[in-house]
Amino acid sequence: MTKANRIRLSFVLYLNYFVHGIGLLILTQNMKALGGAWGTPLATVSYVVSGVGIGRLLAYYLLGSLSDRYGRKTFVYVGMLSYLIFFIGIILTKDFRVAYLLAILAGVANSALDSGTYPTFLEMDSKNGAANILIKAAMSIGEFVLPLFIGLNENLGGWYGLSFIFASVILLINFVLLSRTQFPQKAKTGKQTNHRLFGGNKRSGSRIGLLIIFSIYGYTSMALMILFTQWITLYGTDVLHMSNIEAHFLLSLYSIGSITGVLLIFAILKWSLIREVKLIVSLNSLSLLMLLVIGFSGSTWLVSIASFIFGATAAGGVMQVGLNIFSSLFPQAKGRATGIYFSFGSIASFTVPIFTGMLSTISTAAALRSDIIIALVSFAIWVIGYRLMAASADTADYQTERNQINFIDYWILKLLQWRFKLIKTIGIKKMSQHGPIFDPNRESQIMSQIDQQISDRENADYYQAIFQTILTSSKDCQSQVQEKGRAK
């Protein structure tokens, strides 16, 4: 695949997730207007919204498996087309039953996009799953833009359907773009995918163990976020006695944390600085810690900071990291792995509101604190998962260290290039002032400064030799620049 093609394909796929971010909120953000259009109370609109979850649950496993067999592009098309019918249909229909069917279709759209897109990114860039983390960012941008769009439109007295038209137009443009884009070659197709999921070269006991872990994590990673976003504001006002605005701001801090987390995790994965399993264990332990602070510290300051960090660690793409690991364990069935994983996620989006609703009859604090149990389960299964995966990993491997060295070299080179740019400038200035290139005082000042900064004394000689070489090369570079200058 050419680089230009990769960039174009990535753009199209991310743009879909921008639309999906809009799709996630568009019904709830227009509840009143839709209730008016269908002549139903808000409760009915809310019932229609639940159709999205049903659609997801129905479709994930099936579409995921089919995507392994029939190719990713088809499923991206299916997802886009389903979303298009949903957006247009919702504003055309006057009947909430039709709307309910359309909501189910939106859930199917979600599943189809996921089944087509996540495996594509892994197949495009099999080295690491950084690209999949940005899906989360694209969604967040859509979720950020839609309320602004609707707010502005309402202020201008515009028709509520405009936001649906807006999403449809982007989809139509994206259809054209997608038709001109090539997808990467899929690793393997065919019937073997069926049993490979439970077999393959690893011991099947540990594979089944891992399959169970990923199914549970598909649930808990999603539940962790949904529960927090549903209850944190009420917890702020009712339990911590914060003002309304302060309590709402906790959710904003969580969102900002989430975007920060996406960028951080993306950079870490892009450079493969830490093994994904280590990353997921660290993120989960931090999430757990932050929930304990939120649940029991009682300090609004600490809760605010913890909400931010919780956003970064629980909603910064950790779910996508889990999916990456899951898919890499079942390389022949990436689509199916995606389907299974997100099916459990959609069960979470169903069940969390139900059981926290029941807990809230005891207290709001109980509802929010139940997230600690979910975090504890996530953490515990990853401790087991880590051991299972470590058992099968090659411990003599030093690829992670090599990746870290690549990262360091990258930055050393950037800094050296910056230094040489300055060196050239000084060389030219020295020439116009007829000053000598070699400045012994300055050099000994540099060397003694370096010497003071070296904390690893054992290797001090090596560092000094490296800097001596830099100084020598800098002078060579200046002579060359001056020669060129004189020749002109």
Distance CA 173, CA 188 (A): 31
Shortest Å distance, C-beta 411 to ligand PRE: 19
Q: Any contact of residue 239 with ligand PRE (CB under 6 A)?
A: no
Among candidates 247, 204, 231, 270, which has minimal Cα distance to 410?
270
Minimum CB–partner distance for residue 461 and ligand PRE (Å): 20
Q: Which stretch binds ligand PRE (CB under 6 A): 69-77, 304-312, 398-406, 468-476?
A: 468-476
In angstroms, the CA 459 to CA 211 distance is 47
Q: Which of 438, 444, 449, 462 binds ligand PRE (CB under 6 A)?
A: 438
Nearer to ligand PRE, 391 or 466 (CB): 466
Closest among 19, 148, 168 to 91, alpha carbons compared: 168
Q: By C-beta, is 292 or 471 nearer to ligand PRE? A: 471
Residue with tokens 């549903």: 230
Closest C-alpha among 8, 11, 27 to residue 35:
27
475 near ligand PRE (CB under 6 A): yes
Binding residue (CB under 6 A) for ligand PRE from 54, 216, 443, 454: 443
Least Å distance, CB 212 to ligand PRE, is 60
> Does residue number 91 form part of the binding site for ligand PRE (CB under 6 A)?
no
439 binds ligand PRE, rule: CB under 6 A: yes
Residue 468's contacts (CB-CB under 8 Å, 6 or more residues apart) are: 447
| Comparison of 97 and 442: residue with beta carbon closer to ligand PRE | 442
Query: Near ligand PRE by CB under 6 A, which window of 88-96, 205-213, 230-238, 438-446?
Result: 438-446
**From the centroid of its chain, how far is CA 5?**
22
- Reference 207, options 379, 396, 378, 391; nearest CA is 391
Select from 94-102, 162-170, 317-325, 434-442 the region that touches ligand PRE (CB under 6 A).
434-442
CB of 474 to ligand PRE, least distance (A): 3
| Identity of the residue, 365 or 423, whose beta carbon is nearer to ligand PRE in the bound complex | 423
69 binds ligand PRE (CB under 6 A): no
Query: How far is it, in rounded angstroms, from Cα 228 to Cα 235?
Result: 10
Which residue stretch of 30-38, 198-206, 310-318, 436-444 sits at the interface with ligand PRE (rule: CB under 6 A)? 436-444
Nearer to ligand PRE, 205 or 440 (CB): 440
Contact 121, 301 (CB under 8 A): no
Does residue 474 bind ligand PRE (CB under 6 A)? yes
Q: Which residue is nearest to ligand PRE (CB)?
A: 474
Cβ closest to ligand PRE, residue 24 vs residue 428: 428
CB of 449 to ligand PRE, least distance (A): 11
Q: Which of 442, 449, 460, 469 contacts ligand PRE by CB under 6 A?
A: 442
Examine residue 418 and tell whether it contacts ligand PRE (CB under 6 A). no
Q: Is 246 in the site for ligand PRE (CB under 6 A)?
A: no
Distance of closest approach, residue 179 Cβ to ligand PRE, in angstroms:
55
CA dist 73 and 104 (Å) reads: 22
Residue with smaller CB distance to ligand PRE, 292 or 426: 426
Nearer to ligand PRE, 387 or 414 (CB): 414
| Closest distance to ligand PRE from the beta carbon of 420 (Å) | 9
Least distance CB 441 / ligand PRE (angstroms): 9
Q: Which is nearer to ligand PRE, 400 or 445 (CB)?
A: 445
The span of 40-48, 74-82, 314-322, 471-479 binding ligand PRE (CB under 6 A) equals 471-479
Q: Could you say which of 31, 273, 289, 426 contacts ligand PRE (CB under 6 A)?
A: 426
**At closest approach, how far in Å is the CB of 408 from ligand PRE?**
22
- Rounded to 10 degrees, the C-alpha dihedral 213/218/220/221 comes to 120
First to last CA, the chain: 45
Which of residues 392 and 449 has its CB atom nearest to ligand PRE in the complex?
Answer: 449
Task: Mention every residue, 6+ apart, whose C-beta is less than 8 A from residue 338.
Answer: 60, 64, 67, 114, 115, 118, 119, 323, 327
Q: How far from 375 is each of 212, 225, 265, 291, CA to CA, in Å? A: 17, 10, 19, 8
Binding site for ligand PRE (CB under 6 A): 423, 426, 438-439, 442-443, 446, 471, 474-475
